[in-house]
């Protein structure tokens, strides 16, 4: 009899424990219908409920935000431990750095907290990049100082440099650091994550193609003083003054192939055209639509045109025109001209780049750049055999025309 009473007590205790545990699981998300929906739509609802239950409550809001807004494929497949680690470390830098503490909540959630940039492999980059860059920003007192500290140190601290021999376009930070190389997309992913690792809001920006069909390009924006400012892996002399601004001024906001997009985590009214996901023949509308984005083309057109006006009015810049020809001595007719890719550098900083005019363009129509007067610039281009050529040009007070040759 006594034994039966004891068993009954144990059974009641177990029933109560199960009831309490079930209630905790159910209430972990019951106050948030969006989170309930995200959990219900997952192929791992029980695992998600357990994740919420075992995670410190101070991380719940941030974790819920990620779970609601993350791609469904990630919700179904990625490591939840990685997700919690991302939240914990992002939370840590928000408590540590004054620039992150002062961010509006929406900016923190959309541009510091996210664990990915585009469709790269989801790896544990946050702790590694924090350890690399925290010493560089710990002495900074402002967000702008921290931005410059990250950007000016990133090639040295990561050991990653631009190289198209990289394994793939959309490399994760670890993939790029393992190889020591990345192209513009991988470099931009790495820079965005390096910023976010120390609490600096950053986002990925790019175009599927420049106006002259030279191909896609990717870069980075940072949030400073309530505005998105333009930068890149190899730090420009000042924010918003990038080598491709002349190209950006010719972007087409109503044509997805030639428009400029900034990624957006969570709810977005557009999508980012990840051209690396398709073949050359893939139609732009057939690309994956999994990464939210904002069309920012008008901003870049306005910014570039404003800079152009300021340079012309200041009298500090003059025009360098570059013509491309098939061979020396044959520069008279339009049929002599060829479209050649050329980049212009001032020391290590790229000032611009583009294609020279081909045979079907007017003879007075040339690739041109407005550059600071009285400086020497290096032109870099490839001949028909793929050999790199460099040509030093000294630009004085007056506009100058330079010829380059394919043969």
**CATH number of the domain located at residue range(s) 116-306 in this protein:** 3.10.620
Q: Diameter of the chain by CA atoms?
A: 114
Nearest to 322 by CA among 336, 301, 343, 351: 343
In this chain, the answer to whether the domains covering 116-306 and 316-405 adopt an identical fold is no
Helices (H), 59-171: 60-69, 72-77, 80-96, 98-101, 105-111, 126-137, 143-158
Beta bridge pairs of residue 227: 224
Check residue 6 and give its pLDDT.
Answer: 47
C-alpha–C-alpha distance, residues 3 and 9, integer Å: 10
How, if at all, do strands 317-325 and 400-405 pair?
A: parallel
Helix (H, G, I), strand (E, B) or coil at 297: helix
Is the separation of the CB atoms in 354 and 379 below 8 Å?
Answer: no
Radius of gyration of the chain (CA): 26
At 342, phi and psi to the nearest 5?
-140, 140
C-alpha 316/C-alpha 311 separation (Å) is 6
Spatial distance between the Cα atoms of 339 and 360, rounded to a whole number of angstroms: 10
Q: Which residues pair with 206 in a beta bridge?
A: 218, 261
Give which of 198, 184, 188 is closest to 149, Cα–Cα. 198
pTM for the predicted model, two decimal places = 0.83
**Which of 131, 149, 53 shows the shortest CA–CA distance to 92?**
131
Task: State the pLDDT at residue 161.
Answer: 94
Predicted pLDDT of residue 46? 85
Residue in the block written with tokens 């057109």:
301
Closest Cα to residue 379, out of 297, 336, 324, 337?
Answer: 324
316-405 belongs to CATH 2.60.40.10: yes
Q: What is the pLDDT of residue 31?
A: 64
Given this model, what pLDDT does residue 373 score? 93
Query: 3-state class of 219 per DSSP?
Result: strand
Ordered by start, the domain boundaries in the chain are 116-306, 316-405
- pLDDT by residue for the chain (407 residues), tens digit each? 545 554 444 444 444 333 333 333 344 444 677 777 778 777 788 888 888 888 888 888 898 899 889 998 898 888 889 999 999 999 999 999 999 999 999 999 999 999 999 999 999 999 999 999 999 999 999 999 999 999 999 999 999 999 999 999 999 999 999 999 999 999 999 999 999 999 999 999 999 999 988 889 999 999 999 999 999 998 877 899 888 998 999 999 999 999 999 999 988 999 999 999 988 889 999 999 999 999 999 999 999 999 989 988 899 999 899 999 998 888 888 888 999 999 999 998 899 888 888 887 777 778 888 899 999 999 999 988 889 999 999 999 999 999 999 88
């Amino acid at each position: 009899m006594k034994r039966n009473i004891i068993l009954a007590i144990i059974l009641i205790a177990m029933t109560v424990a199960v009831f309490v545990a079930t209630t905790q699981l159910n209430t972990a998300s019951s106050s948030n219908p969006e989170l309930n929906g995200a959990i219900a739509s997952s192929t791992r609802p029980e695992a998600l409920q357990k994740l919420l239950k075992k995670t410190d409550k101070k991380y719940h809001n941030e974790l819920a935000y990620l779970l609601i807004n993350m791609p469904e494929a990630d919700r179904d497949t990625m490591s939840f431990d990685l997700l919690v680690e991302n939240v914990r470390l992002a939370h840590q830098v928000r408590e540590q750095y004054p620039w992150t503490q002062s961010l509006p909540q929406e900016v923190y959630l959309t541009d510091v907290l996210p664990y990915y940039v585009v469709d790269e492999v989801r790896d544990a980059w946050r702790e590694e990049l924090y350890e690399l860059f925290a010493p560089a920003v710990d002495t900074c007192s402002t967000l702008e100082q921290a931005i410059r500290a990250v950007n000016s140190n990133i090639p040295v601290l990561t050991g990653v440099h631009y190289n198209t021999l990289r394994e793939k376009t959309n490399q994760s930070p670890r993939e790029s650091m393992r190889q020591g190389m990345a192209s513009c997309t991988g470099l931009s992913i790495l820079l965005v994550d390096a910023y976010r690792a120390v609490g600096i809001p950053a986002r990925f920006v790019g175009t599927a193609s420049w106006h002259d069909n030279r191909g896609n390009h990717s870069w980075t924006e940072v949030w400073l003083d309530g505005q998105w400012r333009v930068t890149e892996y190899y730090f420009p002399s000042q924010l918003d003054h990038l080598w491709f601004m002349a190209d950006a001024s010719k972007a087409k906001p109503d044509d997805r192939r030639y428009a400029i997009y900034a990624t957006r985590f969570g709810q977005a009214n557009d999508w980012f055209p990840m051209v690396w996901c398709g073949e050359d023949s893939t139609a732009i509308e057939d690309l994956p639509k999994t990464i939210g984005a904002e069309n920012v083309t008008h901003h870049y057109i306005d910014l570039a045109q404003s800079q152009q006006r300021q340079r012309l009015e200041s009298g500090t810049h003059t025009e360098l025109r570059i013509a491309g020809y098939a061979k020396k001595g044959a520069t008279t007719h339009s049929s002599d001209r060829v479209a050649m890719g050329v980049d212009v550098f001032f020391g290590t900083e790229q000032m611009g780049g583009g294609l020279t005019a081909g045979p079907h363009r007017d003879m007075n129509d040339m690739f041109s750049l407005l550059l600071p007067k009285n400086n020497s610039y290096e032109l870099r281009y490839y001949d028909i055999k793929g050999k790199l050529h460099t040509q030093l040009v000294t630009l004085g007070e007056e506009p100058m025309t330079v010829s380059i040759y394919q043969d």
